[in-house]
Structure 1
């Protein structure tokens, strides 16, 4: 992972800054992004990924970029146009054992109603499909859900 300032434009007491982001994964996947920071917000201008990202992964990437910009600039909008106004698009979700217990409850309730349990967990947590599957796996590992497949 690398975050580099690309360029900056100063205007009437503030500034607009661009940052280049590059993520390289051990499996060879790569994501390059360009984000602009100004007026107290972060906007992703360009994303290139190999292999292509799903919409859920793109939303996850946007959250990661927002956090990386905060670390690079310091939290909160400043007179230099750097930083963000922090907002949570998803509900707060407890960590640890309590979070796993709630994931298991959502999963079982969706199964009883005949709905897709993964979509139910995604809706409850506000997380991507990949993250929701990981949370479900953690609930299985903790013994709160039955194994995915019956062993023979």
Structure 2
């Protein structure tokens, strides 16, 4: 989420700056420069953040492959405070945590995480539906 706000601020500064300098085509070109600046800064910022998150996800994957499921869960939980920097990352982390809890047969934690998961994570929604079906809570 912070990445969007920072990108919009950069775009606004570029657009207003270009308009105030009153170069070629004035405010119309300032609007275009602002939008292009916001989109470009969002892409660059997202790639920088992805490079910071990727090693931690790979670490969790290696921990999971070695059978240390609880360490993988802890690694993913450590990423939650950083999730506010990237769009839709929090829902994906909760989906992965829910699937891991479901695999460890901890249904209480699995439901807690899966309810917070993104609706775009189909596997998380399927796991939540399976748990609720087993509990006879189809109305939810």
| Fold agreement, TM-score > 0.5 | no
TM-score (norm: length of structure 2):
0.29
TM-score (norm: length of structure 1):
0.28
Over alpha carbons, which structure has the higher Rg?
2
Which structure dedicates a bigger proportion of its chain to strand?
1
